[in-house]
Amino acid sequence: MTEEVLLLDDDAVMLNILAGVLSSAGFTCLVANHAREALSLIEQRPQIAVVVSDVFMPEVTGLQFVNSLNAATLRHPPPRVLLLTGQPSLETAVDALRLGVRDFLVKPVRPPELIEAVKRAMAQAMEDRSAQHARSPQVEQLMRQAEELVGRLRTLAYSGEDAAEGRPAPQPAGTRVAAAEAQPASDARIGKAHEDVGEGNKFAILDTIEQLRRLRDRYAEHKLDDVAWDLLLELLRAERLRQRLSVSGLAISISGVSATTSLRRMNELAARQYIERIPDPADARRDFVALTPKAQALLADYLAQANAYVSALTR
């Protein structure tokens, strides 16, 4: 199977330029001018190993595209993503790193720089595909539990939208439903009922998130604060996406937490054997971070409890 590069940009001229540069370097390229088309191609073609996407596009931005790609359920490892922008900012760069973007390039990008970035991303994508076959059964079970929880939370989140459109949907505890459904209702009353369902659903979701946090209290003997839990769950998210997180990448991944605090927690987690640091053989200045079997067992139990709780709400 020949690996492919998918180019995503709403500018047809830019797509032609990028395709010309990369094709001349020996890459097989596909093009898409909308995120929906790109996601459809990725789902259908496992040979797409790298995506080069513009950041600022109408309707769906490059960051939103990456977020949708991360949430997609694929039968194969997701491609590595490079982002291109002519309007760089620190905030955009940090958001890109948090989403697992492989590289962030500034337009106008020189052809050698683009080619080298795609080569690096392609090499990483090949590692992802090799790592897929090397996962332990415990890690595979964690992935399934995480995907089940995400699916159930998504069902809970969308149930309010279903009700607002008149479709039957499971109602979690706390959701308000309009009374006297058998009686004719005016448009105003229907609108108010839909509003009530949406508001009730919003509060139910917030309550569910809070309850999932409280589940952590059952593991008090592990002495992990919220930052430590979030770091472990972020590492699990990276495992699910078949990504490798560096120490610096993990340090900036938790929203609202300083990199200094994250680094301190990582050192504590490493000392207590919840995570391990793995030197990058290609760069002596960088270490990757991975979950240990001890952390995997903890997260497996937590996810089983969380799945049971959310499943009861969505029945």
Nearest in space to 53 (alpha carbons), one of 94, 97, 103: 103
The reported pLDDT for the residue numbered 48 is 94
Q: What is the pLDDT of residues 239-279, one digit of tens each?
A: 776 677 788 888 877 777 888 898 999 999 999 999 999 88
* Cβ(303)–Cβ(142) below 8 Å: yes
Contact (Cβ atoms closer than 8 angstroms) between residue 290 and residue 299: no
- Whether residue 32 contacts residue 38, with contact meaning beta carbons closer than 8 Å, is answered with yes
What is the model's pTM? 0.51
The pLDDT value recorded for residue 140 is: 56
Please report which helix (H) or strand (E) contains residue 211, including its range.
helix 187-214
Q: How far apart are CA 270 and CA 152, in angstroms?
A: 32
Under a CB-based contact definition with an 8 Å cutoff, are residues 105 and 82 in contact?
Answer: yes
| Angstrom distance (rounded) from CA 169 to CA 314 | 9
Pick the CATH number of 4-132 from 3.40.50.720, 3.40.50.2300, 1.40.20.10, 2.60.40.10: 3.40.50.2300
Q: What residue type is assigned to position 17 of the chain? A: I
Residue 250: closest CA among 80, 100, 70 = 100
The residues of the chain that CATH labels 1.10.10.10 are 137-147+218-314
Q: Does domain 137-147+218-314 have CATH number 1.20.1250.20?
A: no
Coil vs helix vs strand at 105 = strand
- Domain ranges in the chain with CATH number 3.40.50.2300: 4-132
Per-residue tokens: 189: 């009353």
Residue bearing tokens 């030197």: 279
Choose among 255, 211, 209, 205: nearest CA to 230.
255
d(CA 177, CA 182): 13
* Three-state secondary structure call for residue 99: coil
* Nearest CA-CA partner of 176 in 208, 199, 210, 207: 199
Please, are residues 278 and 289 in contact by the beta-carbon 8 Å criterion? yes
pLDDT per residue of the chain (315 residues) written in tens, 0 to 9:
689 999 999 989 999 999 999 999 999 999 999 999 999 999 999 999 999 999 888 888 888 898 888 878 787 888 889 988 877 676 777 677 666 676 788 888 889 999 999 998 888 788 776 655 445 555 555 555 555 555 555 554 545 444 444 444 433 333 333 333 333 344 444 344 444 444 444 455 556 667 777 788 888 899 999 899 989 988 888 777 667 778 888 887 777 788 889 899 999 999 999 999 988 877 777 888 988 989 988 888 888 887 777 777 655
- Separation between Cα atoms, residue 22 and residue 45, nearest integer Å: 19
pLDDT tens, position by position, 109-159 = 889 999 999 998 888 788 776 655 445 555 555 555 555 555 555 554 545
Q: What tokens were used for 98? A: 């948090």
Pick the closest to residue 6 from 89, 100, 69, 97 (CA basis).
69
Q: Return the SS3 of 286.
A: strand
Beta bridge partners of 7: 31, 52
DSSP bridge pairs for 277: 289
